[in-house]
Structure 1
Amino acid sequence: MLTTAIQYSLKIDTTEHLGIKEYTYTCYGDSENKNIFYVVPEIPIFFGQESKPDFLFYKYRKEEQQGGYAQFTVKLPVPTQSEGEKIKTQLYKGISPQLAAKSRLIVKYVQAENKLTADPTNKANQEAREKAFKNTGLTEEQAKKYVVAYDPKGDGEQFLGRLMPDENKIELRQPRYTSAQASLIINENKVFYSQQPTPLSPSGLGNNDTVFSLSLTGLGATLFENVLKGTPSNASVGIRYNFTLDASLPAVKVIVTYDSEKMKTVAQTITRHTWSADEKEITREFSEKGAVKVSVIPGLSPQEMGMKDEQYNAWIKTFEDWGQAQLQQILSSQTGLDMSLDLLNDAGSFDKFKESLKNTQSFTRVYEENRVVPFSIAPQAQLPSILSIVGAGKVDDYFKEYDLDDPFFQFIQPEFYVSQDLAKYNIENIIVIAKYDDNHVSTLRFDNKNSAPQKTEKWYIDKKLGRTYSYSYTVNFSGLHSKPYHSGKIDVTDSLVQYINMAQCGIVYAQVDSLLDEQAWKTFSQVLLKAQYSDPAHDIELKSDVQLLNVSTPPKPFIYPVGMKPENPIYFTTDYYTRDGGRFTYIEPGIEPSSQLPGYGSTRANQIQIMNALPRKTSYSIFFIASKKDVLIITFDMTVNYKTYKFKQTQSINLEEKDLEEKTTRRNLTFGFLPDGTDDIPEITYSGTVIYNDERDPKPIEGKVSGSSFAVVVNC
C-alpha cells in the first residue's frame, strides 16, 4: 500500500509535452515492497498532438451583448518509458537520505527493545520502546526481522542496504485513485477568485484527460483571452486536480476539530457582500476564530525523517490539506452539501450555507500513525499561454471572434454531454428533448453503448425567440423499485453546451469504500454493512441493502433511483467480526447517529467509508521471571474489554517447563484498539495460574494494566 512516509519529488527534462521543458513528479513508497514506487504527476498541462493543443476559444458580440466560449483538454501525463528511466535514476540517488534516516529509527527501536528486555519493570524503558516502534512505521512482523538481524557493533545505517530498492528492479506504478475531480481556477490581482469544477470528472486512470467547457461573460471572456493568448496581465488561469486514494499514515497524528456553535457565531458576522467578495478570506476566518481546526502533530523532526526543511514543511502541508478534506467530508455527510472550506461556493447561496449550519454537530476526530486513511493529493498549476506553445504566427488560429448579427451565424446547435459512467448508476438510457419552437424539436438518446456528446439539428434563429431554447430529459433506470427521473423544463439563453450530471438525477447514491488493508484483515474475518433509505412523505418505500465484506469480497455502492432529489439521509451501520470470535458495532466519530435506529449513523454525502475499527495496534511485553527451575506450567490470559461496545479481546500464553530455560522468559501480545475520540476507555486485565513441579499449591495470577503501561511482569 502507498505510504506517505517515503516520498521524493523530482524534476526531469522532457520534450514530450506542450509548453514545458521540465516536468515534476512525486514518488511515494510502498509499505510492503521496497522496489515499488507510486508516481504522481504534479503539473496539469494542455493535451495535444504534433505541437497543436486541443484548445478552442471564441468571443462573440451582438449589438451591446458580448461573451465567449472555451473548450480545451488538460491532462496529467503518466511518464513515458524514457521518462520512467530518468525517474528511476534520480529516485535511486535521491531517496537514500530518507532510507538512511529510517535505518537509524529502526536501530533506535531495536536498542529500545533490548533495553526493555534487560529491565522490564522500568517504566521509561516501556515508553521508549513504544515510541520508537511507532516511529519506524513497521508492522510487528517486520520489526521482528530487524531485531534478529541487528548487529550491536554496527552503526545507525546498518539497515540501509535492506531498505534501499534494487536499482534494476524499481517498478513505477500509478496510484489507484478512489475518486477524482478537477477544477478551473481564475485569479486576477488577488481580488477576483473563481473556482469552477468541471461537470465531467477525470477518470482516475492513465493521463486523466479532462475536458473543460465553459461559457463566459464579456468581462470573463476578455480576461480569459488575455491570459491564455499571451497578453501581459496580472491574472492567471490554473487547473487543480483533487484525487483521493488509500494510504497509510506515517509517524504523525492529525486532529480534526469542528465547533458548530462557534461556526454559527462566525457566520453571523459575515455579510452577504463580504461573502461574495472574498470567500477565501472568510474560510480563513473560520479557522482563526476556532470554528474549525486541523492540528498536525509530527512525531519526528526533519533530520529524523532525512528531509530538508523545505521538503519537510511541504510534507506537513499535505497533512494539513488532508485534514481539511476530512473535515469537509464529515460536514458534507451531515448536510448533504459540498462544504469545501476552499470556497464553499457549491453550498449554493450565502443564505443556504448559513441555513445548513443548523444541521451540523461538533466533533473531534483523531487519526493516528500507521492507520489506513483516504488520503488527498492535489496537483495544480497555471496553464501556459497558447502563444508560448504555438508561436505568434499561429496563435490567432485558436482565438476567434464572431459577430452574431452576421447572417452566417444565424443558427444555433446546442450540444449535450452526459457522464461517462452510466452503468455505475444502473442507468438504462437518457432521453433528451430539446426544443426551439414547435417546428424545431430534437430528440437525443444516450445509453451505455452511446454516451458520446450529441448535437441537436441546426436551428435558424427567429428574431422573436433569439438564442433562447429549452430542454428536458428523462433518466430511466434498471432494478426493482426504480423510478424514472424527469427533469422538467429547463430554459437556456446563449449557452450552447449543456451537461447532465447523473449524480443529480434523482438517485440516492453512496460509494462504499473499504479502508481495511491486509493487516486489518488479519484481525477481522468479515464486516457486515447494512444501509437503508426511505421517504414516506413522498411515498418512497424502504430499501435495505446488506453486504458481507471480507478480504476477497469488496463492497458495492448503495444505489436507489427514487425519481426526485433525495431529501433524507442514508442510514447505515457496520458490524465487525474478529477472527477470535468477537463482534461489535462501530460508527466513526463525526458521523451523526440516528435517533430512531440505535447503532446506525446517517450520511447525506455520496460516500460511506468502512474504516479499520481497531487501527491502533499496541504490543504488550509479558515477562515471566522464574529464579528457580521449579515451574511446570504457566497459563496466562490478557483481556481488553470495551464495556460500552460489549466487545472483548482475549489472548493467551501457555508455557511449559521446556519454555522456561532462562531466568526471564518474554512473550508479546498485540491488541487492536478503537481510535482516539471514542467514548469508551477499555479495561485491560490479566489472569492466569502458575503450576509448580513440587507439592506447592498453584499460584493465581491477576491484575490490571494501566493505560500508560506496555509491560507486565509475572514473578513466578
Structure 2
Amino acid sequence: MINIQKSIVFNYGDSQRVTVYGDFDDLNTWYIVPTPRFAIDKTIGQEMFTLREFVTDTGITGNCNFTVELYVSDEERSVVKQYLGQDIVFGQLNWVNITSFFTYDLKGEKQVANATPAQFAENQATFDIFLPDQEAVNCFKDAFGPGDQGVSPFFMQYEGMALSKLPAVDVTVKYDSVLAFEYEKTVEVDRNIWGKETSRKAAVKEYLKNSDAGNTDIKWNIPNPDEEMKQRVYDWAWITLEGLVNKAVDDAVKLLGEAHADQFSLNQTSSFSRNYKENQVVDFNVSPMGSQFKRFNENEWEKHFSRVDNRSLTINFTIMDDLSQNKIKSVQVNVKYPTLQPEPSHTFTQEDCSNWTLEADGYYEGGIFKASYQYQYIVTFEIETKLTPYTSPWIPSENARVILPAAALGVQSATFRAANVDFDNAVNYVLLDFYYITPGNLPNKSEQIKIIENNKDYKIVSRTGLPSTNPYSYALTYVLKNGRQYEVSPISSNSDTIVISSPFSTNQFNVYVNNNLPEDGGVQIKQVRIRATYDDYENGLTGLNNTWNFKPDLSMEYDEGEPWDLTVVENPNGSVVSLSGKLIYSDGKVKSVNGLKNQTGFIDFSPISEIDTIEVDPSQIQWKEGVEQVRINFYQLKDSPVKAADIHSARADADSRKNLAQLTFRPMHDAEGAITGTVQKQYFDIDKPLDDELVYYYDGTYYHSGDVPDSYIKEAQSSDLGIVLPKDGESEELVIHRLVAGNKK
C-alpha cells in the first residue's frame, strides 16, 4: 500500500521530473508514478497512432485513432536509484480503479474524451475520435504534425486510484443534485451522452467543475501542512467526489435501461455528503499522470497521416483483464465486414495481449458509410481448468472499440476488501455470504468467507467457461467481540471490487420538489409538511424520525428540504423510511401523503404526478425447502400490451421496456450455513400522472440449491400496490404479470 506522506519528486535532465511513493510496510519498496505515452506496436516498432483525412463527394471528414499506455523508463529507474540507493525494490502499483482522459480543442472549444484502460500490464487505452469537417481535421493535423514546438497542445491524463491512508486530515465531499440540475438546464445537452459510460464520466467531470454542485471541505489536524500535500488531498477529494457522482448516475441509468438513457436527468440523483477521517484507508489518486503528446517529425508523419478518398472503418479490440490470472490460454477474435476478404483474425495470448486495431476500407450503400460489422471470439482455457473452448455467436456492432472483460470470456470474479473495520477492539469477524447465478443452467455458486483483517483481498472466482452479465448478491454479518451482531441484507452488484467498511455510516435522506416554473403556468407546491420514520428491524434500529416543513423556492424548478443525516447500519435492502404528511398547493388545495415507503434515501414530489409505493412480501417463501434466492423484475412496456404474446415480445425489446426496479430476496445465514432471521419486505415507488392509472409488469424467478432448475411465478396474491410472493415458482416458463397502479380520483 502506497504511503502518500512519503512522496518524493526528483528533477533530472532538461526540466524532467519523476515522482515516487514509499510503501507503508516495507521501507525499501518504492513506487514510480508512470507517465502516459503512445503505445508502441511491437510488430513494426512505431507508435500506435493514425490520422486519416477522408475526401468524399459530400465534403471532408476525418478520424484519429490512437492507443496510449503507462510507461516508466529505464532512465527514471536509474535516477531514483541514484538518490535512494541501488538496493531499493520497485513495486507494481495495484490500481483499484483507473480511467484515461484525452483533452483537446476543437473549433476553439475544449473537449474531453475518456476511455477505460486494460486493468493489467501497461494499462493500454484506445481513443477513436471522429472529426466531422475540414476544420476539425486541420486542428488535429496542426496538433500532431510537424511544427516548431516539440510537443502537441493536446493533453493526455490517467486518473488511477490505489490504496493508501489519509494523512492528518478530515475531508467531507458534498454533492447538491438541485444545483447540478439547475446547471444542466443552462447547457445544451446531447441526451445521448447518458447512454454510454465513457461520455457519462466526461459529462460528470464537466458539470461538477462548471457548477457549484460539488464541494469539498478539508480540515487539517496539523498546523501548516506543506502545499504539495494540501494539493494532493484536494485533488483526491475532488476525484473521489466525481467517482461517487458517477456511480449515482450509472445506477440511475442502469435502472432506466440503456435504451432509455435519453430520459435521464440529474434530478434523478440525490444529494449526498461523505466524510473521511485521518488514517482511513481510501482509494487515493496517484498523480500527476499526465503529459502532452509528442509531435511527429516529417519522416514519422508520413507513416501516421494519410489522405484517402473514402472513409475507413477502424475497430480496436481490448482484453480488459489479465489472461494469465484468469487461466485463459488465448482469445481468438474474428471479424466480418463487406470490404474485408478474407475475414481477418487475431489471437491474444498471455505473452502478447496488446490492443488489436483493425482497419478496413469503408463500405458504402447508396453513398452512405456503413459502420456495421460482426465479430466473434473463441476462448481457450488452460488445461487445468478442464473447460472446453467457448465460441461466441457472431455479434453485430458499430462500436469503434470492443472491450472483452473476463466475464465475457467465461470467468466471473469479485474481490472483497475490508477497510477501517475495527478488528482490534470491536469486530470479531465479518461473515460474507456470497451467491452467484451461473449461466448455462449450471449449479449456482454460494460461498461463505470470514473476513478477519483489513486491506486483504478476498477473491471469489467462478469459472464456467460461459459469458455472463448476471449480478451476484452478497450479505454481511458483523459479529462483534461482545456477541452483538449487525446485518446487511443481500445486495446485488456487478462490481469487480467491494470495499467493506464499518457497519455504521452516516446516510442522508431528503425530500425534493419538482415544480412547474411560474412562466410555464400551472399549479405549484408551495409548502411541504412531511414526517419520516426510519425502521431497520434486523438491527433493532426503529422509530427514528424527522420532520420537513419548508416552502420551496417557486422561482426554481427543483428544490429540496434540509437533509436528514442519520448514522445507522448501511442496510439499504433491510431498512425503510415511511412518510406521511401534506403537500399544500398554490391554488389552496391540500394533498395528503400516506403510506409511502422509501428505500432509496430520497423522494421527489411534483404537482403533476403522484407517488405510489409497491410492497413485495416474501414471508411465504419456503427458504428451508431448497429456494436459495428470488429475483423480481418490475418494468413498463410501450403501449401497455394486454395479450401474452405481445407482452413477451415487448419485454424482449430493449427499446420497448423501461425498467422500474429489480428486487433480490435471500435469507441471512450464520457461519454454519443455517438460515437466520426473517427476510424483510422490500418496496419501490412508482411516479405516475396525477389522478391517473399506470400499467406496469413484473416477473419473478426462483433459484434453487443443487441441480433443481429455476422456476417462475405463475400466480401470486397481488393488488395494484402489493405482491405476496408464493412459496415457490410453479412454472417452468417465464410468466409476465400485468398490474395497474390504481386511479385515485
- Give the TM-score, by structure 1 length: 0.55
Distance 1:288 1:73, change over 3 A: closer
Distance 1:3 1:353, change over 3 A: farther
- The correspondence of residues 166-245 of structure 1 with structure 2, limited to 5 A, is 172-188=90-106, 191-197=109-115, 200-201=117-118, 203=120, 205=121, 208=122, 210=124, 212=126, 214=128, 216-219=130-133, 220-231=136-147, 236-245=153-162
Distance 1:418 1:27, change over 3 A: closer
> Amino acid of the residue matched to residue 398 of structure 1?
K
Q: Does 2:215 match 1:293? A: yes
Q: Using the alignment, how far apart are the partners of 1:460 and 1:177 within structure 2?
A: 38
The 8 Å contact of residues 170 and 276 in structure 2, kept in 1 or not, is answered as yes
The 8 Å contact of residues 364 and 677 in structure 1, kept in 2 or not, is answered as no
Candidates 241, 251, 260, aligned match of 1:324: 241
Deviation of residue 432 (structure 1)? 5.1
Q: Using the alignment, how far apart are the partners of 1:371 and 1:59 within structure 2?
A: 49
Q: Does 2:249 match 1:249? A: no
Distance 1:300 1:509, change over 3 A: farther
Distance 1:78 1:383, change over 3 A: same
More strand by share: 2
Distance 1:269 1:526, change over 3 A: same
Q: Which residue of 2 aligns with 1:122?
A: none
Q: Which residue of 1 aligns with 2:262?
A: 351
Gap runs ≥5 in structure 2: 194-198, 507-535, 542-564, 571-745
Q: Does 2:434 match 1:528? A: no
> Amino acid of the residue matched to residue 214 of structure 1?
D
Deviations 1:145-176 (A, max 9, x none): xxxxxxxxxxxxxxxxxxxxxx7876554433
Q: Using the alignment, how far apart are the partners of 2:264 and 2:465 within structure 1?
A: 25
Candidates 268, 289, 301, aligned match of 1:396: 301
Deviation of residue 327 (structure 1)? 1.8
The 8 Å contact of residues 337 and 605 in structure 1, kept in 2 or not, is answered as no
The 8 Å contact of residues 413 and 458 in structure 1, kept in 2 or not, is answered as yes
Candidates 548, 556, 569, aligned match of 2:450: 548
> Amino acid of the residue matched to residue 25 of structure 1?
V
Q: Secondary structure at the match of 2:432?
A: strand
> Amino acid of the residue matched to residue 351 of structure 1?
D
Deviation of residue 484 (structure 1)? 7.9
Q: Which residue of 2 aligns with 1:370?
A: 279
Q: Secondary structure at the match of 2:222?
A: coil
> Amino acid of the residue matched to residue 130 of structure 2?
L
Q: Using the alignment, how far apart are the partners of 2:223 and 2:259 within structure 1?
A: 42
My pick for the range that moved more, 509-518 or 472-481, is 472-481
> Amino acid of the residue matched to residue 37 of structure 2?
I
Q: Using the alignment, how far apart are the partners of 2:448 and 2:388 within structure 1?
A: 18
- The correspondence of residues 459-478 of structure 1 with structure 2, limited to 5 A, is 468=370, 470-473=373-376
Deviation of residue 437 (structure 1)? 5.1
The 8 Å contact of residues 192 and 261 in structure 2, kept in 1 or not, is answered as yes
Distance 1:173 1:434, change over 3 A: closer
Q: Using the alignment, how far apart are the partners of 2:496 and 2:263 within structure 1?
A: 19
Q: Secondary structure at the match of 1:272?
A: coil
> Amino acid of the residue matched to residue 18 of structure 2?
Y
CA RMSD of aligned residues (A): 5.6
The 8 Å contact of residues 161 and 283 in structure 2, kept in 1 or not, is answered as yes
Q: Does 2:517 match 1:608? A: no
Q: Using the alignment, how far apart are the partners of 1:258 and 1:561 within structure 2?
A: 40
The 8 Å contact of residues 258 and 363 in structure 1, kept in 2 or not, is answered as yes
Deviation of residue 228 (structure 1)? 1.1
Deviations 1:287-327 (A, max 9, x none): 7876443322222233xx3x2x4x24423323323432452
Q: Which residue of 1 aligns with 2:485?
A: 584
Q: Which residue of 1 aligns with 2:743?
A: none
Distance 1:34 1:421, change over 3 A: closer
Deviation of residue 235 (structure 1)? 8.0
Q: Which residue of 2 aligns with 1:573?
A: 475
Distance 1:278 1:369, change over 3 A: closer
> Amino acid of the residue matched to residue 319 of structure 1?
W
Candidates 27, 31, 34, aligned match of 2:20: 27
Deviation of residue 24 (structure 1)? 2.4
Deviation of residue 366 (structure 1)? 1.6
Q: Using the alignment, how far apart are the partners of 1:571 and 1:472 within structure 2?
A: 31
The 8 Å contact of residues 529 and 546 in structure 1, kept in 2 or not, is answered as yes
Deviation of residue 253 (structure 1)? 1.1
Q: Which residue of 1 aligns with 2:8?
A: 8
The 8 Å contact of residues 176 and 214 in structure 2, kept in 1 or not, is answered as yes
Deviation of residue 244 (structure 1)? 1.7
Candidates 72, 78, 83, aligned match of 2:72: 78
Candidates 396, 406, 427, aligned match of 1:490: 396
Distance 1:285 1:442, change over 3 A: closer
The 8 Å contact of residues 434 and 456 in structure 1, kept in 2 or not, is answered as no
Q: Secondary structure at the match of 1:177?
A: coil
Distance 1:540 1:333, change over 3 A: farther
The 8 Å contact of residues 238 and 380 in structure 1, kept in 2 or not, is answered as no
Deviation of residue 246 (structure 1)? 0.9
Q: Using the alignment, how far apart are the partners of 1:550 and 1:522 within structure 2?
A: 12
Q: Which residue of 2 aligns with 1:115?
A: none
Distance 1:584 1:328, change over 3 A: farther
Greater radius of gyration (CA): 1
Q: Secondary structure at the match of 1:555?
A: strand
The 8 Å contact of residues 188 and 236 in structure 1, kept in 2 or not, is answered as no
The 8 Å contact of residues 71 and 211 in structure 1, kept in 2 or not, is answered as no
> Amino acid of the residue matched to residue 485 of structure 2?
F
More helix by share: 1
> Amino acid of the residue matched to residue 102 of structure 2?
L
Q: Using the alignment, how far apart are the partners of 1:414 and 1:279 within structure 2?
A: 22
Q: Using the alignment, how far apart are the partners of 1:458 and 1:602 within structure 2?
A: 41
Higher relative contact order (CA 8 A, sep 6+): 1
Q: Which residue of 2 aligns with 1:45?
A: 37
Q: Using the alignment, how far apart are the partners of 1:4 and 1:321 within structure 2?
A: 16
Deviations 1:505-546 (A, max 9, x none): 49896642414489857875543222335699x999965443
Q: Using the alignment, how far apart are the partners of 1:31 and 1:382 within structure 2?
A: 28
Q: Using the alignment, how far apart are the partners of 1:563 and 1:424 within structure 2?
A: 17
Deviations 1:567-606 (A, max 9, x none): x86432223345x46463466xxxxxxxxxxx33444544
Q: Using the alignment, how far apart are the partners of 2:285 and 2:445 within structure 1?
A: 32
Q: Which residue of 1 aligns with 2:584?
A: none
The 8 Å contact of residues 415 and 457 in structure 2, kept in 1 or not, is answered as no
Deviation of residue 368 (structure 1)? 0.9
Q: Using the alignment, how far apart are the partners of 1:235 and 1:462 within structure 2?
A: 34
> Amino acid of the residue matched to residue 180 of structure 1?
I
- The correspondence of residues 590-629 of structure 1 with structure 2, limited to 5 A, is 599-603=489-493, 605-611=495-501
The 8 Å contact of residues 510 and 608 in structure 1, kept in 2 or not, is answered as no
Q: Which residue of 2 aligns with 1:153?
A: none
Q: Using the alignment, how far apart are the partners of 2:291 and 2:442 within structure 1?
A: 47
Q: Using the alignment, how far apart are the partners of 1:439 and 1:363 within structure 2?
A: 51
Q: Using the alignment, how far apart are the partners of 1:180 and 1:437 within structure 2?
A: 36
The 8 Å contact of residues 118 and 319 in structure 2, kept in 1 or not, is answered as no
The 8 Å contact of residues 386 and 395 in structure 1, kept in 2 or not, is answered as no
Q: Using the alignment, how far apart are the partners of 1:482 and 1:235 within structure 2?
A: 48
